[in-house]
Amino acid sequence: MKRRFVFIAAILILCVGVQVQAAGYPDRPIDLIVPWGAGGGADQLGRAIGPALEKVLKVSLPVINIPGAVSGVGLAKVRAARKDGYTISVFTADAVGADSQGKLAVHVNEFIPLARLMFAPSFLFVHYDSPMKTFEDLIAYTKKNPDKLKVAITGSGSPDDLTVKYLRKNGIKMISVPYPKPGERYASVLGKHNELLYEQAGDVSQFILAKKMRPMVVFLPKRVESMSDVPAIQEFGLEIYLSQYRGLLINQGVPQEKVDVLAKAIKEAYDSPSFQKFLKKMYCMPDSYMPPEEFKKFIENDFEAYTKLWE
């Protein structure tokens, strides 16, 4: 009788133990995967949100860079990870673009979006010493010398690639050269191996300020307030606005309670002064944040827009 009692008690204690463990999520470090190389925008987001989340969740979030294949390599790692909520990943619009053409190693809908954290328009930059100063110069040059200019982009199937293809269709013929690591992408322009760079302003703000690169055009219907001297692409009768957005996601199959814990913590981290300062520095739109459900719909819409563009 006594033994049975001890046995039941032990089971009860075990149950309590298990419950406490579930409630205690997260109780160990969470891997924060950045599916791009160090130094670029996705990486900077990881490095900014990591410490901010750490303050909320009270566990550390080591950043792990896994670059390659328009973030496909890193996302494949997330997909292969355990569904215990201890692996989250930065996610960029590039993955949606690649997935819409079946060029991503995984599918975007195999993940649960946690939040959109950054929303930033894209620019075309030129090396500061280049004889071409404005977008008009560029149009004139490519008319005379098609396929002579090279644009450094992230990878084939990315919004970068799509935009360059769109420009090509409209008579601005350039070659795009993929560099999965942002550092190498910037170095290729700084070293004048490629004349142009497709990028968001925040990622290269130091090169703009140091007079190494010059913004030519912003891919938006209207000019950006903080950079009002840079013309919008619509002014040239062209309509392509593939803005970059970045957020966080987690593998499908992670229990909903854990997803909720993370989503709540991420919102709190987003509102923290340090992260807000970061957003400003990166030239992001003030309404960058989107909660999981809304972000999911946003991605679905974006996916459709891409599919249409490719046709």
Binding site for other proteins (CB under 8 A): 31, 37-39, 43-44, 47-48, 51, 54, 60, 62-70, 72-73, 76-77, 79-82, 86, 98, 103-106, 147, 150, 155-157, 175, 177-181, 183-184, 186-188, 190-194, 205-207, 209-210, 212, 277
Q: Is the dihedral of CA 258, 261, 264, 269 positive or negative?
A: negative
Which residue is listed with tokens 């954290």? Answer: 117
Residue 66 in contact with residue 73, Cβ under 8 Å?
Answer: yes
Q: Which is nearer to other proteins, 56 or 76 (CB)?
A: 76
Nearer to other proteins, 82 or 222 (CB): 82
HSE-CB of 307 using CA atoms within 13 angstroms: 9
The least distance separating other proteins from the CB of residue 80, rounded to whole angstroms, comes to 4
Give whichever of 82 and 169 is closer to other proteins, judged by the CB atom: 82
Nearest-approach distance from CB 69 to other proteins, in angstroms: 4
* Smallest distance, other proteins to C-beta of residue 58, A: 13
Minimum distance from CB of 176 to other proteins (Å)?
Answer: 8
Nearer to other proteins, 39 or 292 (CB): 39
CB closer to other proteins, 51 vs 231: 51
Q: Tell me how far, at minimum, the Cβ of 206 lies from other proteins, in Å.
A: 4
Compare residues 74 and 121 and give the one whose CB is closer to other proteins.
74
Least distance to other proteins, CB of residue 133, Å: 20
Q: Which is nearer to other proteins, 170 or 188 (CB)?
A: 188
213 close to 127: Cβ distance less than 8 angstroms: yes
Smallest separation (angstroms) from other proteins to the CB of 1: 41
Q: Which is nearer to other proteins, 162 or 290 (CB)?
A: 162
Least distance in Å: CB of 63 to other proteins?
7
SS (H, E, C) the chain: CHHHHHHHHHHHHHHHHHHHHHHCCCCCCCEEEECCCCCCHHHHHHHHHHHHHHHHHCCCCCEEECCCCCCHHHHHHHHHCCCCCCEEEEEEHHHHHHHCCCCCCCCHHHEEEEEEEEEECEEEEEECCCCCCCHHHHHHHHHHCCCCCEEEECCCCCHHHHHHHHHHHCCCCCEEEECCCHHHHHHHHHCCCCCEEEEEHHHHHHHHHCCCEEEEEECCCCCCHHHCCCCEHHHHCCCCCCCEEEEEEEECCCCHHHHHHHHHHHHHHHHCHHHHHHHHHCCCCCCCCECHHHHHHHHHHHHHHHHHHHC
